[in-house]
Structures are given as C-alpha cells and as structure tokens.
C-alpha cells in the first residue's frame, strides 16, 4: 500500500525551518543574549572635528567602550560641535572624565579618547535642562599645537617689524654717523698718543707717591689712636673721681644734718654748766664757809616773820 506524501506540508516545514535558522544566525550575529547595552552621553567641542566620522570608536584609556552616534553643529553657536556617544553601560564615567580628539597612527583616523575619572569622584549625572549627561572636553594635541604656532608666528611677526624699524633708513644713517664719529675719536687719540702716555706715567707716579705717603702716615695714625685712648682713659678716671667726690659730699651733708643739732644742744648745756660753775666760784669766794654749812637764809625784812608775812 503506497503512503501519500503531502508535499505542501513538507515545503512549508522546510521554509519555516529555514526562516528559523536565518533568524537564529542573525540573532547570534547581533550578540544574542550577550548583546551589550549602551547609554547616551554628550560632548561639546570648540574646535574642528575634521576626520571624525559616525561610528568612530570611543576609547577609555585605550579600551573601546563605545562609538560616535551623532555629529552636528550647535544651532545656537556654529563654532561649537555637538557629539553624542553610545557608551557601554557600566563604564566608569565620572564628573572629572574628559574627552579629547586623537588621531590614530599615520592613517589620520580620528577617534575620541576618554581619560581621567578619579576613584573617589562621583558618577556623571544629568544636569537640569539637559537630556543627556555632558562630558567635559579638552583641546586636542593639534589644537594646542595650532595655538602655540599661532602665538609664535605672531611674536615672530612683531619681532620682524621691530627689526625693520631698527634698520630703517634714518637709523642706518644715524649708525653711519656714529661710526664716523667713533673713527674720528680713535684718530684723535692716535695723534695724541704721546701726551696720553705721559699723562698715564704721571698718574702712576702720583699714585705711587700717594701710597708712600699713606705708608708714612700709618705710624702717626697709630700714635694718634694711642693718645686718644689715653685721653679717654683719663676722662674715665676723672669721671670716677667726680663720682667719689660727689659721694663724699653726700656723706658730709648727711653727717652735718644728723650731728649739728646734737652738737648745738651739747654746747648749750655746756654754757649753762659754765654759768653755774662761775656763780658757784663767785659765791665760794664771797663766803667760803658755805661749802661746809650751806648757804644761810637771808635775814627777814621789816614786818616779816618766820611764819610768813604779816597781814595788814
């Protein structure tokens, strides 16, 4: 018994299997389950981006981490170029990360190099008013060289202008006159060579005599210094003697102030004593017996008694 084959079903199955195989191949070619995810970032360049193309690599310290997706001019400022990168998620883009345009080898292929990003720096976030995080940029090597060369050329041009001004016709004429004057002076000096030689000889002789006189003055100066030292020493001694005299004068004043009152009082007492002795001597001469019997009382006057004076 013959089996009937449904060729339409078989054909459909083959086509479906082929489609599945093609889809699987494409999926695997696109990365499949290992497909990477990217985050968008912006960068603003203030220089020419000639040589930079779409899908140009973006490298972080030499490692490919993404690509350039958009290159366009800033509509508000045509001198700036806005770049949008697609960078692998998880790449450590920090606030201090910078983007620099670099040229690879001799081929002239331009790519974007990311660098910086300290370990402790915070991750780059979206700032209010922006749609994507903005990576800072720095001038490329070519831009820096261009700026340096421009500055150097400007200075060379200024130096050239100054040299041309120095070498102008008027300055050249003045320089010629100065050379002529110098030649005239040199000629005059050559003509008066003998007089100059004689003057130099006299000057040398004068200097020699001055040195000799200075040598003879040295002993005199030493004697004057010795005399001055002796006078200074004598002055010091006189000053010391004056201090001593002043000290003695102060002691004499103190002695006079303390002793004279006592001496005056003693002299007064001696005077009183001398007066008493004189009276005693006179009394003894008038009545020697008074030394033994004492002084007799004076006789009573008229109307007086030994008991007292009579009352009227």
- Residue pLDDT tens, the chain, 312 long: 456 666 677 778 888 888 888 888 777 766 555 567 889 999 999 988 888 889 999 999 889 999 999 999 988 898 899 999 999 988 889 999 999 998 876 667 889 999 887 888 899 888 888 889 999 998 888 888 888 888 888 888 888 888 877 777 777 788 788 888 888 888 888 887 777 778 788 778 787 777 776 676 667 677 777 777 776 777 677 667 666 656 665 665 665 666 667 767 767 777 777 777 777 666 666 665 554 445 555 555 566 554 444 443
Sort strands 134-137 and 38-45 into parallel, antiparallel or unpaired: parallel
Partner residues linked to 88 by β-bridges: 38
Of 101, 114, 115, whose CA–CA distance to 51 is shortest? 101
Sort strands 77-88 and 38-45 into parallel, antiparallel or unpaired: antiparallel
H helix count then E strand count, the chain? 5, 9
CA distances (Å), origin 304, targets 94, 295, 299: 147, 20, 9
């Amino acid at each position: 018994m013959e089996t009937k084959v449904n060729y339409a079903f078989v054909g459909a199955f083959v086509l479906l299997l082929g489609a599945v195989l093609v889809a699987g191949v494409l999926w695997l070619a696109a990365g499949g389950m290992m497909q990477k995810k990217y985050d968008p970032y912006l960068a603003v360049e203030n220089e020419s981006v000639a040589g930079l193309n779409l899908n140009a690599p973006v490298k972080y310290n030499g490692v490919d981490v993404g690509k350039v997706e958009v290159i366009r001019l800033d509509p508000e400022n045509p001198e700036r170029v806005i770049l949008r990168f697609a960078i692998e998620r998880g790449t450590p883009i920090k606030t201090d990360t910078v983007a620099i345009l670099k040229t690879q080898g001799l081929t002239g292929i331009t790519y974007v190099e990311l660098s910086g990003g300290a370990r402790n720096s915070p991750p780059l976030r979206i700032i209010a008013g922006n749609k994507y995080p903005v990576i800072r940029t720095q001038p490329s090597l070519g831009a820096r060289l261009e700026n340096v060369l421009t500055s150097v050329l400007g200075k060379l041009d200024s130096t050239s202008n100054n040299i041309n001004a120095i070498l102008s016709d008027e300055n050249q004429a003045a320089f010629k006159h100065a050379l002529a004057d110098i030649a005239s002076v040199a000629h005059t000096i050559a003509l008066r060579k003998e007089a100059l030689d004689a003057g130099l000889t006299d000057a040398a002789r004068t200097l020699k005599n001055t040195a000799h006189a200075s040598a003879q003055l040295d002993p005199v100066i030493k004697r004057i210094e010795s005399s001055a030292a002796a006078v200074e020493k004598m002055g010091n001694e006189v000053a010391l003697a004056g201090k001593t005299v002043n000290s003695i004068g102060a002691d004499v004043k103190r002695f006079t102030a303390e002793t004279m009152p006592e001496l005056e009082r003693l002299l007064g007492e001696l005077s009183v004593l001398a007066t008493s002795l004189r009276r005693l001597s006179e009394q003894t001469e008038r009545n020697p017996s008074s030394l033994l019997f004492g002084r007799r009382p004076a006789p009573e006057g008229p109307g007086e008694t030994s008991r007292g004076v009579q009352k009227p």
